[in-house]
Amino acid sequence: MLSGMTDFIDVLVPRGGRSLVERVQKEARVPVIGHLEGNCHVYVDGDADADMAREIVLNAKLRRTGVCGAAETVLFDRGWSGTAAIVRALLDAGCEVRGDEAVQRLDKRVTVATEQDWYTEYLDKIIAARVVDGVDAAVEHIARYGSAHTESIVTRNAAAADRFLANVDSAIVLHNASTQFADGGEFGMGAEIGISTDKFHARGPVGVEQLTSYKYVVRGSGQVRP
């Protein structure tokens, strides 16, 4: 396959399903920039504006369910009062909600979330939902189950936002914005080849600049190093 043409190919950016990316990463003899999945999260903080949170969660999940930036899990602060309204809005929009015990109590239409649901990239009108004890618990959940792709916090609390943005180790982190902004075009990079969850060389949206390597040209006049 093309990954064996090391004289002609410097790097591969596989774009497609999980099986394709896994095979390229396994067989390639050149560096690979790629991501296997986008298990993205929205955390609704205790200081979130209710209307903003509703719009962001519904957009993050339902605008386009098949893109890698679609939210697959929503986390709610235990002290926030608007959780039930968002859960109902998701269900009324035709989205299946798989929740923990706290979320199940809010609406009889919520089904039971299994351990596997927290890891799952649905790419469908399905979302996992959990109640957590604040920012640190949200960060901990994302670190355990996420794919280091894109995560968002909804809050009016600047300190909570800064804590989330600093401690979530993902390619893209957002404050008061939908995860569906995870796109090279939206970032002003032009055509996007993919979104990398790797940390080496390129991370996040990958465009032409992110694929460009450097050559250093040094001009001297006889200098030597002592």
Per-residue pLDDT of the chain (226 residues; tens, 9 = 90+): 454 577 788 788 887 777 777 788 788 888 887 776 889 999 999 999 999 999 999 999 999 999 989 999 999 999 999 999 999 999 999 999 999 999 999 999 999 999 999 999 999 999 999 999 999 999 999 999 999 999 999 999 999 999 999 999 999 999 999 999 998 888 888 877 778 887 777 788 888 787 777 756 667 576 654 6
Residues 131 and 168 in one domain: yes
Does residue 16 sit in the same domain as residue 62?
Answer: no
Residue 152 shares a structural domain with residue 200: no
Q: What contacts 191, CB < 8 A, 6 or more positions away? A: 184, 185, 207, 208
Note the pTM of the prediction, 2 decimals: 0.85
The residue type found at 57 is: V
For residue 76, being part of any structural domain is answered with: yes
Asked if 30 and 105 sit in the same domain, the reply is no
In a domain, 49, yes or no: yes
> Given the structure tokens 């955390």, which residue do they identify?
43
Task: Report the SS3 class of residue 202.
Answer: coil
Q: What is the pLDDT of residue 197?
A: 81
Q: What is the pLDDT of residue 187?
A: 83
Q: Is residue 185 part of a domain?
A: no
Which structural domain, as residue segments, surrounds residue 21?
A: 2-35+192-208
Is 44 found in the same domain as 152? Answer: yes
**CATH code (residue 155):** 3.40.309.10
225 belongs to a structural domain: no
Q: Residue holding tokens 């990316």?
A: 21
Do residue 7 and residue 26 come from a single domain? yes
163 found inside a domain: yes
Q: Strand (E) positions, 21-77?
A: 40-44, 71-77
CA nearest neighbour of 18 among 147, 141, 181, 125: 147
- The answer to whether position 26 is within a domain reads yes
State whether 78 and 175 are in the same domain. Answer: yes
| 57 within some domain | yes
- Split into its structural domains, the chain has a count of 2
Say whether both 56 and 117 belong to one domain: yes
- Asked if residue 214 is part of any domain, the answer here is no
Give dist(CA 205, CA 129) in Å, integer. 27
In this structure, the answer to whether residues 100 and 114 fall within a common structural domain is yes
Co-location of 30 and 60 in the same domain: no
Instruction: Tell me: do 144 and 65 sit in the same domain.
Output: yes
Give me 92's structure tokens.
């009324």
Tell me: do 65 and 139 sit in the same domain: yes
pLDDT of residue 215: 58
